[in-house]
Amino acid sequence: MWQEFVRVTFYILLGFMANGQPVHKGAAACSTGFPMGSVLEFEDGFQVTCKDRGYLGRDTGWVDVWAPSYTWGRRYVTGDYGDYAWVTVVRWGGDR
């Protein structure tokens, strides 16, 4: 395991992710530097799995956490982690 310093954002779109699954809590759109299926853990223990892609750039520079509502995203993503945070890479790639 190791840590990466990433930009943290959230999105609230409904529908399906790049891996074909419907959006759900614990899923994230990650930069292309994180292989699909990678599991990332924030310092408070909240884990997300990279199951989607986005348009925020390449490499391992960002994690876009799915949020069920704007209010939830502002409170629990932006409020807890700010614009940037350290994440621990628990699993590198794997099942989508």
Domains (range + CATH), the chain: 2-91 (2.40.40)
Q: In whole angstroms, what is the distance from residue 32 CA to residue 21 CA?
A: 18
Q: In whole angstroms, what is the distance from residue 16 CA to residue 94 CA?
A: 19
Q: In whole angstroms, what is the distance from residue 46 CA to residue 78 CA?
A: 13
Q: What is the pTM of this model?
A: 0.90
In this prediction, residue 61 carries a pLDDT of 85
In this prediction, residue 32 carries a pLDDT of 87
| pLDDT tens string 55-85 | 665 566 899 999 999 999 999 999 999 999 9
Q: In whole angstroms, what is the distance from residue 5 CA to residue 29 CA?
A: 16
In this prediction, residue 49 carries a pLDDT of 97
**CA distance to 6, 13, 19, 22, 42, per residue, from 85 (Å):** 6, 23, 25, 26, 8
| pLDDT tens string 14-44 | 999 999 999 999 999 999 889 999 999 999 9
